[in-house]
Structures are given as C-alpha cells and as structure tokens.
Amino acid sequence: MIDWVSDLLFWIVFGSILLFLRGRRIFWTVGALGMLLLFNQFFTPGFFHLQVLDGHLYGSRIDVLNQGAKVMLLSLGMVLVIATGGVDLSVGAVMAIAAAVSSRLLVTEHLPAGFAIAAALVVSILAGAWNGVLVAGFGIQPIVATLVLMVAGRGVAQLITEGQIINFLDPTMVYLGNGHLFALPFTLTLVLLMLGLAFFLVRRTAVGLFIESVGDNAEASRYSGINARQVKFLVYAFSGFCAGLAGLVACSNIKSADANNIGLYLELDAILAVVVGGTSLQGGRFYLVGALVGGLFIQTLTTTLYARNVSSDISPVPKALVIIAVCLLQSESFRTRLARVVRPSERVLQPIGSRPPQKPITMTSHDSTES
C-alpha cells in the first residue's frame, strides 16, 4: 500500500521533470533512464520496494544512488575534460592512488582521518595536474598523456599499499561511503555538492564558456585571447580531484583499500556516462547534469541485471544492447529515419534543409528507391 503511493509520487515527480526538459538535449538521457525504471516497475519484482531501516531509506533505488556515486563523481570531471576535446583515461588509477594514500596514512602511519582524506585529495589533484602539464604544457595528445598514469598509477597505488589490502575501521573514513544524511546515502550529498561546485565554476564564471570555446576550436580561442593552456590544465586538475573523491568513496564503501581493483575499468564507465549524457567526444558543448544522469543510467542498468538475476556469463550482452539503443536514440539522424519508418507519410518531421523537398505520395522511379 505504502509502496503503491510512493511509486505514484515518484512517477509524478519523474514525469514532471521529463515534461520540463522537453526539447532539451538531456531529455533523451532522462527519458532512457525513465524507460529503464518503468521496465523495472513492471517486470522486476522488488526493485521499487522501499523501506526504512535504522532511520534511513533502504531499497534498490537507494543502492543505485550509492553505488552510482563513483561513476557520477568521475563523470563530472570527465565531462569537462571531454568538452575541451580531451579525455582522461587515468581516473580509475587515480582512484586507486587516493584510496591507497588515505588508508596508508590512516592505518600504517596512524594519522587522523581528516588529514588522510585531505592528503589523498591533494595527491589526486597533483595527479590530475600532471596530466594537465603533459597535455597543456607539452602538447601531448590527451589519450596518450593520460594513458601513462592509467598504466603506471595502479602500480604507484600498489607501491603505497605494499601490495596488501589495507583494512580500516575509522568512523570518519567509513562514513564517506556508508553514512547517511537526510535518510539518504551521504554519497548523494557529496555528488550534489560537487555538481554545485562544477556548476558554479562553469556557469557562473566565464570558465564554462572558455572550456566550450577551447573544445570547439583551440586555435581560434587562442587568437581571441583565451588562455587555452590554462583552461586545459584546470580541467585535468579538476578531473583528478573528482577521481580522488570517487576513490575515497570506493574504498570507504568496502572499508579497505584494494589498490588492484578500486576503480578498475571505471574510466570507461565515466566516458560512457558522459556520452550517454549527450556530450560529444569531439568537444565543445557539454552537459553537466546529463553526465550525472548518464552515470545513474549505467548503475541502474547494472543493478537491474543483478536484481533480475541475469547470469553473469551473458549479462554484458543485454548491457551492450541497451547502451547501443540509448546512443541511437540520441542521434538526431537516427531519430529522423526512425520517424520516417514509423510514419512514412509525415515528411514534416524531416529537419529543414536535410533533403530536397519531395512530392508527397506519387511514385516516380526516383522516389521508389527510398524508404
């Protein structure tokens, strides 16, 4: 009964958000998330069940928020890097470094949690800055520059932990990935805070404009007086910071720093989240909230497959199919073609200028080759 009411409330809120976003780029991302959730509402028993446990909410959707936080944090940094026409492959390794540094300082060196966390974040910013120096300072291609740290970073993390899995029980550290605030996982607050910070940075100052212009055309931006190097350096450092936070959340979640596995392949998830969120890998226009929703979408998909008990041997297949579908849905030209197949008579849907105007129905020899 309670479930029924809360579900209805959820869908009313979700529907109005979707209505509000009509016509915007991220409509399709949120729409895809909506469809996945709708599928779960009807076909995955227990997915929408929500209950109160120890004074906080407990359910599959809460898991999605908590487990998805890592990719969401990464995608915030990644989306800015991608907007400048770059890519940051090192975020997974930076997560491992942050986890290794914090737990090493906490457990082996017996330093207070606040200091360990701060040190881990500083190291992550430095790691991001290193990428920034390689890309902006020496003009190395981003994919190559960040590949260096992606490969080497995990080794650095192993070195810091001396190849061991370090366990900790410090309440502050454990709170980061397991704590609850306002009956919701603390990680959600963290993600929203970071979104606020990123939003302020790029939409309330000129930095966002600079990032887009650098991504569109670095040369032209330089001629118009934008310091492209500084902008690039900044986004890589910010990406490092986001990765550091994600690393802290990841190790806190399992109360141990597992240098070899924390953040493994997550850089790919983060890139995927950005793409699903509607940002082009070519740089330029970017969508902060889109990237977050993209991250949420990927986690929802993962949790759905767990909840439906899809065998792990085949689970990559449905995952790939759904993601292909979402990417197609976002493609303008695919949507036009689809519309033409579904309603062949309504030629109005064609974007203006994409094709020469044609006569409506008469079958001529030149018309019959189409559709």
Partner 1 sequence: MKISSVYRTSIALLAFTTACVFTQLQALAADTGQKKLVVGFSQVGAESGWRTANTESIKSEAQKRGIDLRFSDAQQKQENQIKAIRSFIAQGVDVIAFSPVVETGFEPVLQEAKKAGIPVVLSDRAVKVSDPSLYVTFLGSDFVEEGRRAANALAKLTGGKANIAELVGTVGSAPAIDRKKGFEEVLAKYPDMKIIMSQSGDFTRAKGKEVMEAFLKAPNAKEINALFAHNDDMALGAIQAMEEAGIKPGQDIKIVSIDGVRGAFEAMKDGKLNVTVECNPLLGPQLFDLVEKVANKEEVPKRVVSQEGVYDEAQAAAELPKRQY
Nearer to partner 1, 309 or 345 (CB): 309
For residue 345, the minimal CB distance to partner 1 (Å) is 46
Distance CA 285, CA 281 (A): 10
Kindly tell me which residue out of 311, 345, 362, 368 binds partner 1, with binding defined by CB under 8 A. 311
For residue 155, the minimal CB distance to partner 1 (Å) is 8
Kindly tell me which residue out of 60, 103, 213, 279 binds partner 1, with binding defined by CB under 8 A. 60
265: alpha, beta or left? (left if phi > 0; alpha if psi -120 to 50) = left
Distance CA 227, CA 214 (A): 9
Return the residues of window 104-163 that contact partner 1 according to CB under 8 A.
137, 154, 158, 163
Work out the end-to-end distance of the chain between its first and last CA atoms, rounded to an integer number of angstroms.
49
**Residue 227 is a binding residue for partner 1 (CB under 8 A):** no
Environment class of 74 (CB within 10 Å of its CB; exposed 0-12, middle 13-18, buried 19+): buried
**Residue 47 is a binding residue for partner 1 (CB under 8 A):** yes
**Residue 256 is a binding residue for partner 1 (CB under 8 A):** yes
Return the residues of window 312-351 that contact partner 1 according to CB under 8 A.
312-313
**Residue 43 is a binding residue for partner 1 (CB under 8 A):** no
Radius of gyration for the chain, computed over Cα atoms and rounded to the nearest angstrom: 23
Q: Which amino acid is at 154?
A: R
For residue 252, the minimal CB distance to partner 1 (Å) is 11
Nearer to partner 1, 34 or 179 (CB): 179
55: alpha, beta or left? (left if phi > 0; alpha if psi -120 to 50) = left
Distance CA 296, CA 18 (A): 16
Return the residues of window 158-197 that contact partner 1 according to CB under 8 A.
158, 163-165, 167, 178
Both structure tokens of 325: 């579908």
Nearer to partner 1, 73 or 211 (CB): 73
Distance CA 39, CA 247 (A): 32
SS3 assignment, position 50: strand
The residues that touch partner 1, with contacts defined as CB under 8 A, are 45-47, 49, 53-54, 58-60, 63, 67, 137, 154, 158, 163-165, 167, 178, 250, 253-256, 258-262, 264, 303, 306-307, 309, 311-313
